[in-house]
Structure 1
Amino acid sequence: MSKLVRSASLTNYAEVARAAGIDPLALLADVGLSPACLHDPDLRIPSEAVRGLLEASAIAGGIDNFGLRMAETRQLSNLGAVALVAREEPTVRRVVRALVRHSRRLNESLFVKLDEAEGIAVIREELLLGQGGSRQATELLVGVTFRNLKFFLGPAWNPLRVCFAHPAPRDPSLHFRVFGYAVYFGQDFNGLVCTTRDMDAPNPMADPVMARYARQLLEDSSGSGRMSTVDSVRHILLVLLPSGQCSIDQVAQQLGVDRRTVHRRLLREGTTFTEVMNTIRREMSAHYIDDGTRPLSQVAELLGFSALSAFSRWYKQQFGEVAGRRRREVPRT
């Protein structure tokens, strides 16, 4: 039986292919994949077909770093519901363990393991695929993990080593630009070597209220396999809300479509972008107000409002009372 991977694994594939002078649709057809893979991140597609597509694209474009080029622009939110759970873990170690625990939701061919000893942490990542090379898929995988760790540890962070089992490329300059100069080829495994101090680092974005909510969303979506557009938009909004960059244009970009397509799909499911946004904000604001541990200015920021006054107007419009009064009425134990 074929092992499957989320079609989000092909995020930015078409852009990288065209930049290399390749026709992405022709190569998709060659490996038996539908163009829908480029627009719907939650399809389940054969891992082997994705591996073949990336290797064929590297050959067609005459570039041996095709997978790494795709990894360059990846974001944590490309992991879908798993990103929500990982983002709310209290330490980087817990983040990595969450990614390990849920890795097969993303890719059934993926083996990930975190080992720690004597101050060193090794994140090993292997793709359990059939015959044929997997250089491009492996570099995409390690590159995505590297970018996700930078999301939590900051742009100045670099691992002690970035390891690849395959030989060095003809020109490693992109690898050095992405990873720094501690990149080693011909190693015994693929993955990253860090310090346990990196793993100890706190995650300042962790939020216990959001963590419970995110875990419930992941559990709710686990039985159905592919998520609806409403659920996909909800998950992306939960990642984007604290940044304030949560417009329909930003959500459409994450889904790999234009805003009109998002509107059309949501209407087919009986709702609108504004309704989905307001539902999430109502649910989360109720949690935060009742929790009572965060000032209202911080609640406003976490819900994507540019100012407390904007949050206050929205809250009164939605609930018919001011947030401060509601907070005072909540019984404390």
Structure 2
Amino acid sequence: MTDLIRSAALTHYPDIARSVGLDPSEMMRRARLPLACLDRPEVRIAVTGFRRLLETSAAVSGAQDFGLRMADRGGLTNLGPVALVVREQPTVGSALEALARYIHIHHDGMRLDVRRSGSRVTIALGLRGRHPSASNQSIDLALGTIHRVIQALCGDKWRPLEVHFSYAPPRDRSPHREFFGCPLIFNSEIDAVVISAQDLSRRIASAHPLMASYLRKRIEAIETRPGGWDEKVDEVVRALLASGNCTVERVAEHFACNRRTIHRHLAECGTSFSAILDAQRAALVTKLIEDPGRSLSAIAQQLGFSAQSAMARWFRSRFGCSITDWRKGVRPARPRTDAATKASELPAGLAHR
């Protein structure tokens, strides 16, 4: 299964890309990432595409500290719901435990292992599926983010004891020295941030115990996230429909693959893109048509129909009544709310979109 990351990770990418002379739109296209995800931070994209973007941006611009620049602008602010739980913990130690426990909600392919040994604590990084020779920027971004998260909790003057990198030292180490402000170990056996055990007991002044408990329950609900291709495609379709730009090609971009791959994996799950799209349209259209200020032509366009009349035919087939009747409160006794509308019943050209 393709690992995904919240597109919030790209929040500051356009500004950083421009600062080193890059065209962010062009670089996104080269990395085969959808430009629309820049406006939707909760939509998830393929980790492989995200890593490709970092490495290509560093190579083309010559800014070998590109990952660190991304980390410098990110930190807690890019972690979404994970950041909320981390920030409300009573101590730095419990905050790091929460970060390690829930980081996969932000980034499928990232794991953290917090180990204490005497007076030292090692926060070891695991990046699933990375290529050893093409992941330096991803490592820098991840370790830099860990550093900035702890710094946000401890204060700007805080520094780690050491930072370890599994790759060879860059030609110019000064950006890394300036960023971390501590001894750096390259060609290490691990990628890790090492801190003092005393840091774990530091209190977080802004923490609120009741809020922490509430947020933990909310994020544990989020944790029951899609696992198979059908569920993950369903999640992306739901997000893209809200923006009015949902096609199988757009969905494939989020998974860094092509439409044939999407169709093949969904067939293996016993469903199809048309069935998923139809179910999500049915869930959204009843909400949209309740708004009297929203025209039917605009709704048809948002849901990807070729014309208002096409949507009208689909609606009658799906719900057993016209949109006008639905708005008047005239509903059939048993509307078709299942997700199995046949492709043959969909408007022409819809089944293969």
Q: TM-score, normalised by structure 1?
A: 0.65
1:211 aligns to 2:204 (yes or no): no
- Cα distance change on mapping 1:100 and 1:224 into 2, 3 Å: closer
Residue 222 of structure 1 and its aligned partner are, at CA, apart by 4.0
Residue 219 of structure 1 and its aligned partner are, at CA, apart by 3.5
Residue 165 of structure 1 and its aligned partner are, at CA, apart by 1.1
1:182, 1:130 → 2: CA distance?
25
Matching residue's letter, 1:122: T
Matching residue's letter, 2:140: E
1:84, 1:122 → 2: CA distance?
23
Q: What's the counterpart of residue 82 of structure 2?
A: 82
Residue 218 of structure 1 and its aligned partner are, at CA, apart by 1.9
Residue 65 of structure 1 and its aligned partner are, at CA, apart by 1.0
1:224, 1:122 → 2: CA distance?
29
2:130, 2:101 → 1: CA distance?
23
Q: What's the counterpart of residue 199 of structure 1?
A: 200
Equivalences for 1:265-284 in 2 at 5 Å? Answer: none
2:81, 2:224 → 1: CA distance?
13
Residue 51 of structure 1 and its aligned partner are, at CA, apart by 0.8
2:169, 2:41 → 1: CA distance?
31
Q: What's the counterpart of residue 246 of structure 1?
A: none
Equivalences for 1:1-333 in 2 at 5 Å? Answer: 1-131=1-131, 132-223=133-224
Deviation readout 1:237-278 (Å, 9 max, x if unpaired): xxxxxxxxxxxxxxxxxxxxxxxxxxxxxxx9x9xxxxxxxx
Residue segments in structure 1 that go unaligned for 5+ positions in a row:
230-267, 271-333
Residue 11 of structure 1 and its aligned partner are, at CA, apart by 2.3
- After TM superposition, the runs of 4+ consecutive aligned structure 1 residues lying more than 6 A away are 224-229
1:112–1:123: 8 Å Cα contact kept in structure 2? yes
2:75–2:146: 8 Å Cα contact kept in structure 1? no
- Cα distance change on mapping 1:164 and 1:129 into 2, 3 Å: same
Matching residue's letter, 2:199: D
Matching residue's letter, 1:139: D
- Cα distance change on mapping 1:130 and 1:186 into 2, 3 Å: closer
2:55–2:135: 8 Å Cα contact kept in structure 1? yes
- Cα distance change on mapping 1:108 and 1:165 into 2, 3 Å: same
2:159–2:182: 8 Å Cα contact kept in structure 1? no
Residue 168 of structure 1 and its aligned partner are, at CA, apart by 1.5
1:162–1:193: 8 Å Cα contact kept in structure 2? yes
Equivalent position SS for 1:96:
helix
Deviation readout 1:21-64 (Å, 9 max, x if unpaired): 11111121122211122222111111111111110111110121
Task: Determine what percentage of the aligned residue pairs are the same residue.
Answer: 34
Residue 221 of structure 1 and its aligned partner are, at CA, apart by 3.8
1:165–1:186: 8 Å Cα contact kept in structure 2? yes
CA RMSD of aligned residues (A): 2.4
Residue 126 of structure 1 and its aligned partner are, at CA, apart by 2.1
Residue 223 of structure 1 and its aligned partner are, at CA, apart by 4.7
1:145, 1:104 → 2: CA distance?
14
1:11–1:70: 8 Å Cα contact kept in structure 2? no
Matching residue's letter, 2:4: L
Residue 142 of structure 1 and its aligned partner are, at CA, apart by 0.5
Residue 17 of structure 1 and its aligned partner are, at CA, apart by 0.9
1:180, 1:219 → 2: CA distance?
35
Deviation readout 1:110-153 (Å, 9 max, x if unpaired): 12100001111000012112435100011011101100001111
Q: What's the counterpart of residue 282 of structure 1?
A: none
Residue segments in structure 2 that go unaligned for 5+ positions in a row:
227-234, 240-287, 291-353
Residue 167 of structure 1 and its aligned partner are, at CA, apart by 1.5
- Cα distance change on mapping 1:111 and 1:48 into 2, 3 Å: same
2:97, 2:127 → 1: CA distance?
18
Equivalent position SS for 1:102:
helix
Residue 217 of structure 1 and its aligned partner are, at CA, apart by 2.8
Residue 199 of structure 1 and its aligned partner are, at CA, apart by 1.1
Q: Whose radius of gyration is greater, 1 or 2?
A: 2
Q: TM-score, normalised by structure 2?
A: 0.62
Equivalent position SS for 2:111:
strand
1:76–1:148: 8 Å Cα contact kept in structure 2? yes
1:147, 1:136 → 2: CA distance?
16
2:160–2:182: 8 Å Cα contact kept in structure 1? no
Residue 213 of structure 1 and its aligned partner are, at CA, apart by 2.3
1:224, 1:101 → 2: CA distance?
15
Matching residue's letter, 1:67: G
1:73, 1:52 → 2: CA distance?
19
1:126–1:138: 8 Å Cα contact kept in structure 2? no
1:157, 1:108 → 2: CA distance?
29
